[in-house]
Structure 1
Amino acid sequence: MSWTVDGVRISRVVEHVMPFPVDFFAEATPADVAAEPDLALDFVDAHGRYRMSLHSYLLEADGRRIIVDTCCGNGKVRPLIPEFDHRTGPYLADLVVEGFAPDTVDAVVCTHLHLDHTGWNTRLVDGEWVPTFPRARYLLGAADVDAWGRSDDPLHAPAFADSVRPVLDAGLVDPVEGDLPLVGPVRLRATPGHTPGHLSVWIGDRCVITGDVLHHPIQCRHPDWTATGDGDPDLARATRRALLEEAASAEALVLGTHFAGSSAGHVVRDGDAFRFVAED
């Protein structure tokens, strides 16, 4: 699966796809999910659960290779989420197939520092967590680095310790404050709410990689729904509506960071909300 937007080639490596319960969004009910038949199969499973994908986007722009989000990682100790615990998947081999051998990657963007977006920042070598991409600059929201660096949250503090701290200690991190042009038409945009330093990635005005501003296409229909993990729900709602408005106005390709299926589509206005139209 790949796309080309404004001369930037975008591809995707999927780590795994898993079901999430309806109450992942606090305001949702099973009836709300059942009322969206267009989401069946790709985005909702036969039991009425959200299908969520854990994947990275790979960007090739002006001769540079950029990875956006690094999923869960192998060998990480994550007892609170069994699907993330001590994984042994083929992610690195899949990167090589896509032409992204670890030592050829120029930049790693983490849209935010939750455990499912940072795991492959590091890998275990001789009992130590070391940077997976030794030539890359790691672009992380400065406010997230500050917040999670001081946190004792039982879910995300261990991920900071084994997947963020080692790249900080290696001097590979460039903290990002606000919007930042990256290379060619690729730029980072501050989209706070889910976390304080959350970033989304835009390619010109024709494509957006959402990060966790959106977790699932059903949020286009219900942009006010609160996702588990939204640090500031009110700000997250405002940020989500602004992104949806911009994407709809620009007719931009929307690449959902957790969208299953092809992960790609367009947002169209539908009354006072929106609708996601998936691409095959």
Structure 2
Amino acid sequence: MQSQSQSQSQNQNPGQDPGRDVYELALGDVTITRVGEFSGPVGMTPDVFFPGGTEEAWQRHRPLLTPDFLDPDTNICVSALQTWVLRSEGRTILIDTGAGNHKERPYAPVWGHLETDYLENLARAGVRPEDVDVVVNTHLHLDHVGWNTVLRDRTWVPTFPNATYLMPKADFDFWNPAHANPSVFGPGNQNVFEDSVAPVHAAGQALLWEDSHRIDGHLRLEAAPGHTPGSSVITLESGGDRAVFVGDLLHTPLQIMEPDQNSCFCEDPAGARATRRRILGRAADRNALVLPAHFGGHGALEVRRDAGAFGIKEWAPFARLRTDRP
């Protein structure tokens, strides 16, 4: 999820820290921890963020959407940037790394020059940069790769020095500025490849995968194109529990009840709709927990089939943990 330049005036505090509280959930032998970077209005009304949608649908589902996904006073969409931290088979795995600090984002200024406490929030969850074994970027939009790197002596270097970064090759190729591919995002992803992707690749820490990739016995990456050419999901199966981390397949619960509704950032609208229906259908049939990248509030949910679309079965039972970390 990203905001374009018109959003700057609507979001004056992108550096707020939503990550001081730590929330965890165990699925089989895998522990999932939610670490936040940002939560708040993102400067777009529903008709801008989700073109092709109807005001009637937003009004009909308004009790579900406010206040975690829609500000009732301003009618501005609300979203979160967060990382899912997985501890699986003795390794620490991060899914998506937010917007990052000190990044130059001339066409998405709401995510530029941030000063968030993201690394401190990770520390509260018991994770130091050197502890991370694997970083998964579900796709290579600016708000999913920002903390891939940090600025050190005027040079962008990998934030997690011991990690393998799993990046979809299709997105690596698509966003490489040398290829000059046109995008529905226009120039909104400018500088992202150079400051958050290429330095990791140059350091020899990037693994570019295609079609599918087995992370470990519980976790598997699979291609889920549409939002971007390389968009992916991570499936979890452990001890009879199932989950799917869906990245930007969903930005709002409205897309569960209205699965043909895309965000304005989907490169292949028809592909995004087909992928969303396929992944949600499988999650409903397998009782899999669905964990989107940008859901605030409860953060994750189970879905059910409902008259050709889907409904919310129940929200995830994340538990707030006490922590003595600063």
TM-score by length of 2: 0.83
Residue 235 of structure 1 pairs with residue 271 of structure 2: yes
Residue identity opposite 1:25 in structure 2: F
Q: CA–CA distance in 2 between the matches of 1:53 and 1:278?
A: 16
CA contact (8 A) 2:105 2:190 kept: no
Provide the residue aligned with 2:82 in structure 1.
55
Q: CA–CA distance in 2 between the matches of 1:236 and 1:154?
A: 21
Q: CA–CA distance in 1 between the matches of 2:150 and 2:127?
A: 16
Q: Secondary structure at the match of 2:191?
A: helix
CA contact (8 A) 2:107 2:190 kept: no
CA contact (8 A) 2:255 2:262 kept: no
Q: CA–CA distance in 2 between the matches of 1:70 and 1:259?
A: 15
Residue 151 of structure 1 pairs with residue 177 of structure 2: no
Provide the residue aligned with 1:98 in structure 2.
125
Please state how far the C-alpha of 1:85 moved relative to its aligned partner: 1.3
Residue identity opposite 1:213 in structure 2: L
TM-score by length of 1: 0.96
CA contact (8 A) 2:289 2:316 kept: no
Mean CA deviation greater in 209-218 or 34-43 = 34-43
Q: Secondary structure at the match of 1:210?
A: strand
Q: CA–CA distance in 2 between the matches of 1:151 and 1:56?
A: 29
Over the aligned positions, Cα root-mean-square deviation in angstroms equals 1.4
Counterpart pick for 2:55 among 6, 14, 30: 30
Q: CA–CA distance in 2 between the matches of 1:112 and 1:178?
A: 13
CA contact (8 A) 2:68 2:79 kept: no
Please state how far the C-alpha of 1:224 moved relative to its aligned partner: 0.7
Provide the residue aligned with 1:16 in structure 2.
38
Provide the residue aligned with 1:270 in structure 2.
306
Change (3 A) 1:55 1:111: same
Please state how far the C-alpha of 1:228 moved relative to its aligned partner: 1.4
Change (3 A) 1:118 1:48: same
Residue identity opposite 1:65 in structure 2: T
Mean CA deviation greater in 42-51 or 216-225 = 42-51
Q: Secondary structure at the match of 2:39?
A: strand
Residue identity opposite 1:29 in structure 2: T
Q: What's the % identity of the aligned pairs? A: 43
Pairs within 5 Å for 1:1-280: 1-19=23-41, 20-23=44-47, 24-36=49-61, 37-46=63-72, 47-149=74-176, 150-151=179-180, 154-204=187-237, 206-276=242-312, 277-279=314-316
CA contact (8 A) 1:187 1:202 kept: yes
Please state how far the C-alpha of 1:49 moved relative to its aligned partner: 3.0
Q: Secondary structure at the match of 1:220?
A: helix
Q: CA–CA distance in 2 between the matches of 1:110 and 1:21?
A: 27
Please state how far the C-alpha of 1:41 moved relative to its aligned partner: 2.0
Unmatched 5+ residue regions in structure 1? none
Unmatched 5+ residue regions in structure 2? 1-22, 318-326
Q: CA–CA distance in 1 between the matches of 2:60 and 2:75?
A: 11
